[in-house]
Structure 1
């Protein structure tokens, strides 16, 4: 992929799921990557040459600033950020305690703000390279683009991520900084399994699978490929976008009509 070799990239949520897959993809492309997560150490097998890791909470501004400094020490500058850290949550609004709302919105939305702010403070001080000072990629969700039953706090937080990303693209585009959001469909990750893998969710899981027009859930590496593209020079004219990586989930509803037309799974 064009423009990633020796580039310095910060990846949050790096110890599992989409974040871990993104670390591996960026390293394969020759980038120098610092991963951030709450785990004390990255899982065995994650990383390689050009990889550093820091335990940090995305709500800890000092720790995130230190992680940015780690990237600069390794690569000379912060060329990109892939902010993947997040938590699941939700429920009917009338049954949702304040502390549960705060937990989800704080990690998913305020965490995006904290990471974005740290990235911008560094990028604004850098010289332009090929017209750019850096690129920010935030992980939202298809549930940040449309409602879902019981989504409440999660959907609100991910919708906020989309608009915060668009405003970042507007405000900092003149300074040579791009910002985009990825809105994955349902991706087979530990976070996905923690919700959809619960007992009693079998019917809901099958319904969700069916609404992906490719009739399957996504893989973390499929989202990582888009994240790597958006950080790379190949995406030099892409900014302010909320890109669905969703197997056709948001294309529209099926209602099992494809089966009636003889176009169902075969």
Structure 2
């Protein structure tokens, strides 16, 4: 049997990158996927196979009322919301003295407030059914600082701690909440950032211990584990999936020792 057979999953940021990879993998594992994204995706239904009621809604994750309507409609139609993934996000920022207030607000609103609103939209349904797995998508930049990352890092650090609080508050109702912290993953968001800083890509690549950037499907694999019964005793945790980027510093010694 597929690992998510007959489960209902709501995924924000489902039209591209990590969110789309999660939608595909969940559908392949038997779930019905309700996607949310500000951007349209004409071929989404073709990519998310095995539909059985799967749908993509064009909604801004900062619109709490719209998210609640989608969650309520999903619960009314299918009788449950078993899984939530909050993959919607943007990257922007800089050193504090260079960040416009409007940029700060946009990043925090989408990355952190959008996560809060998505959880708020589903939590009463999960409370009533006394079950649910919430998976937030944070970042390695939410656990370690990065040069020029003030707004993004703050928003993702907030996601990590919000996830822990949700785990604490709702665990006795059978609701689990865990954060995934992806490293540098080949997504449209990363491409946009790297386009303006080509030397940054090479420098980051040197610090990734597996020697390559990650793929969205590799984050989807971690998200599948967290949603499945295999993670039934796991909550309040931060799962880092980064190719070893945060394991420690590299200084060229392995090259001197011939270990490459």
TM-score range, shorter chain: over 0.9
Structure 1, unmatched stretches of 5+, are none
* Count of matched residue pairs: 257
Q: How does 1:90-101 map to 2 (within 5 A)?
A: 90-101=93-104
Give the Cα–Cα distance (whole angstroms) in 1 for the partners of residues 227 and 248 of structure 2: 29
- Is 1:59–1:114's contact at 8 Å kept on the other side of the alignment? yes
Structure-2 residue corresponding to 1:108: 111
Contact 1:15 1:42 in 2 (8 A): no
1:30-109 to 2 correspondences below 5 Å: 30-44=30-44, 45-48=46-49, 49-50=51-52, 51-109=54-112
Normalised TM-score (structure 2) = 0.95
The yes-or-no answer on 1:219 pairing with 2:215 is yes
1:209 deviates by 1.2
State which of 241, 245, 250 in structure 1 corresponds to 2:246: 250
Check conservation: 1:105, 1:157, Cα contact below 8 A: yes
In the alignment, does 2:175 pair up with 1:177? yes
Aligned partner of residue 244 in structure 1, secondary structure: strand
The two structures have a TM-score, normalised by structure 1, of 0.93
- Structure 1 residue 100: Cα displacement: 0.7
The 8 Å contact of residues 166 and 240 in structure 1, kept in 2 or not, is answered as yes
What is the Cα deviation at residue 211 of structure 1? Answer: 0.8
Partner of 2:127: 124
Match of 2:204 in 1: 208
- In 1: Cα distance, 2:184 partner to 2:119 partner: 24
1:164 corresponding residue in structure 2: 162
User: Is the CA contact 2:3–2:30 (under 8 Å) kept in the aligned structure 1?
Assistant: no
Q: How far, CA to CA, are the matches of 2:213 and 2:79 in structure 1?
A: 38
**Once structures 1 and 2 are overlaid, which stretch shifts more, 238-247 or 60-69?**
60-69
Q: Which residue pairs with 2:23 in the alignment?
A: 23
